[in-house]
Amino acid sequence: MRKLILMAGLLMLTCSAFAQIETPVKWAYAAKRVSATEAVVLVKATIDNGWHIYSQNIKSGGPVATEFKFTVSKDYTLVSKPSEPKAVTKYEDAFKMNVSYFENSVVFQQRIKLKSPRATTVKGTLTYMTCNDRKCLPPDDITFSVPVAAK
């Protein structure tokens, strides 16, 4: 009996060693100055085939919307909220409602007003949820840091 329990335990350890954490979304960041006093922070999601992430504009009762939280800084202020391109909107049975989402890739843009011409760094956290036609992964928080070059 002890050998059977030991074998079962070893089998479970071996199986868990081969388990992979799914990461169907890869994030990239950049910034470009558009004038001496303004810049745009670009946040790009590259999404594996068959998966999608949700828009920032999701009604309550649905999936977790993509959300950006920027760290307050003395070097810049945010100009409105992050913009996004037009999303695909479809009915999802899992949520019993129409939801807006992005497939393949999406670039979110945040305009900032710079308080000086020197270089700075925009920091923050983004929260997102990703699903495919079979399952949804738990929401994930990603911390980012984007350098903005001096003009």
- Which tens digit of pLDDT belongs to each residue from 130-145? 999 999 999 999 999 9
- Give me 37's structure tokens: 């006093």
- pLDDT band for position 54 (50/70/90)? very high
Within a domain: 141: yes
Is residue 77 in some structural domain? Answer: yes
Q: What is the extent of the structural domain holding 79? A: 23-148
Cα–Cα distances in angstroms (integers) from residue 21 to residues 9, 15, 47, 52, 139, in the given order: 21, 13, 15, 17, 14
Q: What is the pLDDT of residue 2?
A: 52
Question: CB 6: neighbour CB atoms within 10 A?
Answer: 10
Tell me the CATH number at 56: 2.60.40.1250
Structural domain includes residue 45:
yes
Cα–chain center distance at 111: 18
Cβ proximity of 31 and 43 under 8 Å: no
Domain count of the fold of the chain: 1
